[in-house]
Amino acid sequence: MTGATPLHAPLALAPAMADALARWLDGERSTRDRSGHTITAYRSDLLAFLSFMGGHHGEPALPARMGALTQSDMRAFAAAERARGLSARSLARRLSAVKSFLRWLSDREGFDASRALSQRSPRYRRSLPRPLAPDQARAVIDLAAASHPTAWVAARDEAVLTLLYGCGLRISEALALDGRDWPMGEALRVRGKGGKERQVPVLPVARAAIAAYLGAQPWGLGPDDPLFRGVRGKRLSAGAVEKAMVRLRHALGLPPTATPHALRHSFATHLLAAGGDLRTIQELLGHASLSTTQVYTAVDDAHLLAVFGAAHPRG
């Protein structure tokens, strides 16, 4: 088995397994409030796994047979995925989805999945966020306000990027805002990953930028209307913001790591450098685990070491 067949897995999947997979995905979507992107990734992960197991054992993967899976089977799947070029990080995510499905299936079918679940996920080095320097972040927002020939589009881009940097929002969170979220007070209730809500402070400069955009854009704003619109009046897409950021970083000579998400990284890093504590930053970012937020301490330490290395006298 080479790992190429997962592309054709929907045709080879046994009806009973297809039904089980659909039920599990429905449960993840409804009870855990997984995003559409996450559900799509889970489906791909499980189709790859079930297709591999079908070829590995020479018969379709069926729910009742999943109890016979061993650690050796899981190792074979992991080896095949790595041979296909899957990174350690992507494989770890794929195995996590597979194990969640097997736990659910074992409860439903009444078998012991402990042998398969004992397979360890590969270790990988978590990449550090690539924030912008404070002056770079300000330059991006200032240029956004003046770089587009259509005034209301320039005002929109400035408002969106100000929200990302000033409030630490994910791009999906900013673009999901509706008319009912305006006007904003000193805090904004944001619905993040997994449907978890959090309160984030809204700086006066962010409220002013949004007000300027709304005063310039050509549409009305009802409660169910998108707060940020594209040029045709529909909800602004993440792709449009990413294209704007590409244009801005080229104009400013910034690296490819200067993305919309880098502004969220910049928010966290600059807040930490200014004396913010990790627990507060965790809450503002909406991280489920403090370990996710702790990566910013490494960024800050790396910055300090770089400054030290550049300034220290060498005799």
- The active-site residue, picked from 29, 56, 89, 261, is 261
Name the token pair of 273.
Answer: 């450098």
Q: Give how far Cα 14 sits from Cα of 11, 42, 80, 269, Å.
A: 8, 18, 22, 49
Q: Is the dihedral of CA 74, 76, 77, 82 positive or negative?
A: positive
165 catalytic, yes or no?
no
261 assigned to active site: yes
Catalytic residue from among 193, 235, 247, 303: 193
Q: Identify whether 287 is a catalytic site residue.
A: yes
Backbone torsion region of residue 87, taken as left when φ is above 0, otherwise alpha when ψ lies between -120 and 50, otherwise beta: beta
| Catalytic option among 249, 264, 265, 270 | 264
**213 has catalytic annotation:** no
The 8-class DSSP code of residue 231 comes to T
Is 264 known to be catalytic?
yes
Among 42, 165, 213, 296, which one carries the catalytic annotation? 296
Instruction: Point out the catalytic residue in the list 43, 156, 207, 287.
Output: 287
Q: Which of 62, 72, 75, 68 is nearest to 15 (CA)?
A: 62
Instruction: Fill in the DSSP letter of residue 178.
Output: B
In the annotation, is 193 catalytic?
Answer: yes
Name residues whose C-beta falls within 8 Å of residue 46's C-beta, 6 or more positions apart in sequence: 21, 24, 97, 98, 101
Phi, psi of 14 (to 5 degrees): -65, 145
Where residue 62 falls (left for φ over 0; alpha for ψ -120 to 50; beta otherwise) is beta
**Is 186 within 8 Å of 202 (Cβ atoms)?**
yes
Exactly one of 34, 43, 170, 249 is catalytic; which is it? 170
Active site residues: 170, 193, 261, 264, 287, 296
